[in-house]
């Protein structure tokens, strides 16, 4: 089944404890991205990747890191999480560019930083 | 700077009604526009993608139109069903042919039996 998977789905952590949220897609998509969703602010793009080893900042990249060492994986890293990073996170992928192709979203990761 | 607005923020209708959801954007120089559906606790599902050269796209009971000159898109849902209850979001590239997407804040739809 074609899908985007994220792990974990739920995470509660404390300020400053490094964490990684994994994202994997099995559709051989070149484009992958991360979003956060907050009430009243909607979905905002954090980082995106056009292909392996190619990443770029979205609208809210501060406090996040990403890497794209393999085509199928695009982990989101929070080196020192803070309470303002409490949010619902989505990973997405598309065949080529993010704006020209249909995007496929993962189920989301709900993160709480205490 | 591109801004995307969706009105209304919430909508509650009885089953069977035809309804229209609105999406407005400030910069008309868009490459395309996408409509998504989000169910509670789940990710987004792409419904329709309209290219800038198109005026509308149809999928089953859904019809999306695009009027670039006025900066508007509408999603028409025919004969609504309780299973249509979800949040509907529209998204456009932040500027022409960029990979940065900007989303509206969505319209939360409830269809009651």
Q: In the structure, what pLDDT confidence band is assigned to residue A4 with cuts at 50, 70 and 90?
A: very high
The CA-to-CA distance between both ends of chain B, in Å, stands at 41
Positive or negative, the Cα torsion across A47, A75, A92, A94?
A: positive
What's chain B's length in residues? 113
Q: In what order do the strands lie in the sheet with A76-78?
A: A4-7, A19-25, A76-78, A65-66
Q: In the structure, what pLDDT confidence band is assigned to residue B97 with cuts at 50, 70 and 90?
A: low
pLDDT above 70: residue B6: yes
Q: What is the mean pLDDT of chain B?
A: 91
The CA-to-CA distance between both ends of chain A, in Å, stands at 36
Size of interface A-B (CB pairs under 8 A): 67
From A10's Cα to the closest Cα of chain B, the distance in A is: 11
Q: In the structure, what pLDDT confidence band is assigned to residue A98 with cuts at 50, 70 and 90?
A: low
- CA torsion B26-B65-B39-A113 (nearest 10°) is -20
Chain B residues within an 8 Å CB radius of A107? 42-43
Question: Would the CB atoms of A97 and B99 count as touching at under 8 Å?
Answer: yes
pLDDT above 80: residue B102: yes
- B105 closest CB neighbour out of A42, A92, A107: A42
Chain A residues within an 8 Å CB radius of B46? 102-104
- B103 closest CB neighbour out of A4, A43, A48: A43
pLDDT score recorded for residue B96: 63
pLDDT above 70: residue B98: no
A60 contacts A37 by C-beta, under 8 angstroms: no
């Amino acid at each position: 089944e074609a899908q985007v998977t994220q792990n974990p789905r739920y995470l509660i952590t404390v300020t400053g404890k490094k964490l990684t949220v994994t994202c994997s897609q099995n559709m051989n998509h070149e484009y992958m991205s991360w979003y956060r969703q907050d009430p009243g602010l909607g979905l905002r793009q954090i980082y995106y990747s056009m292909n392996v080893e190619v990443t770029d900042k979205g609208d809210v990249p501060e406090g996040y890191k990403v890497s794209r060492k393999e085509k199928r994986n695009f982990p989101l890293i929070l080196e020192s999480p803070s309470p303002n990073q409490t949010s619902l996170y989505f990973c997405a992928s598309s065949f080529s560019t993010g704006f020209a192709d249909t995007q496929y979203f993962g189920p989301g990761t709900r993160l709480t930083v205490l | 700077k591109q801004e995307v607005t969706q009105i209304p923020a919430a909508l509650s209708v009885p089953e069977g009604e035809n309804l229209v959801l609105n999406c407005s954007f400030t910069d008309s120089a868009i490459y395309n526009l996408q409509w998504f559906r989000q169910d509670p606790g789940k990710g987004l599902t792409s419904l329709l993608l309209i290219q800038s050269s198109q005026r509308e796209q149809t999928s089953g009971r859904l019809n999306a139109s695009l009027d670039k000159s006025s900066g508007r898109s509408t999603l028409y849902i025919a004969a609504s069903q309780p299973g249509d209850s979800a949040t509907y979001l529209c998204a456009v590239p932040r500027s022409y042919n960029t990979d940065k997407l900007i989303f509206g804040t969505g319209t939360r739809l409830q269809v009651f039996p």
